[in-house]
Amino acid sequence: MSLPCKVYYYPIGSGNDFARDLGKEKGSAPDFEINEFITDLPSIYVNGKEYLFINGVGYGIDGYCCEEGDNMRLKRQSVKNNKPINYTMIAIKGLLFHYTPTNATVNVDGKEYYFEKVWLAPTMNGRYYGGGMIPAPDQSRISTSGKVSLMVMHGAGKLKTLSIFPSIFKGKHIKHTKYVSVFSGKEITVTFDRPSPLQIDGETIPDVSTYTVRAACKSRSYTVPNCMVI
């Protein structure tokens, strides 16, 4: 995208994952220019449509959390209840009681992998999402490598997954290599064996069986298949 003017960002939200990824916290700095971070964005293809995203795409229990949060917000609006949605509590209850993991096939730049009991399968452009979670600690939105990162949390039961889950807020979950796999690539496809909610920068899309993410075409150093740089 060619932006005709300077775009500035001031973090006033509840999550501020974009600002946090750039080393800025809510209220700690004035607005700052973000053109370089939104000119070249990765795309996601899901249910026949293409979207661009800034932070990340969540598939699995994070998509479930966004869907549940949307439902709770609608119910609270109907009774004029403005209490904030606690997504961490939704995730914990989902892990213990409500969410059933899926099996998934993952394709990263043509290489295919299969996982059972998949709880999380987000693809990230930045490091942070979900109000401070760091699913892909080594991902950089300003890297010239032309890649995005996929993290798959898989293979564990509810209690083991729950014990690992808090470490994602510090990026330490990747030490659990038996249950956490991280991939980096230019084109990533994730396919679940049953439909599951997906979120794109927090916006929910229900009943998704598969998605494909393609890294941005950045003319300064690389190209991505099926992209044309003019």
Q: Which residues contact 126 (CB under 8 A, 6 or more apart)?
A: 17, 18, 21, 54, 55, 56, 139, 141
Query: Is position 226 within any domain?
Result: no
CA pair distance 95, 85, nearest whole angstrom: 17
- Single pTM value for the model: 0.86
Q: Are residues 31 and 67 in the same domain?
A: no
d(CA 166, CA 168): 5
Q: Which two tokens stand for residue 131?
A: 């109000």
pLDDT at 204: 93
Domain count, the chain: 2
- In this structure, the answer to whether residues 178 and 193 fall within a common structural domain is yes
Q: Is the pLDDT of residue 113 over 90?
A: yes
Indicate whether 229 belongs to any domain. no
Report if residue 222 sits inside a domain.
no
Does 91 reside within a domain? yes
DSSP state of 91: H
Is the domain of 47 the same as that of 155? yes
- In terms of residue numbers, what domain contains 26? 1-39
The answer to whether residue 49 scores a pLDDT higher than 60 is yes
What are the residues whose beta carbons fall under 8 Å from the beta carbon of 154, sequence distance 6 or more? 101, 104, 115, 116, 117, 118, 119, 179, 180, 181
Q: What pLDDT does residue 82 have?
A: 77
Mean pLDDT across the stretch 17-36? 82
Determine the average pLDDT of the residues in 7-15: 82
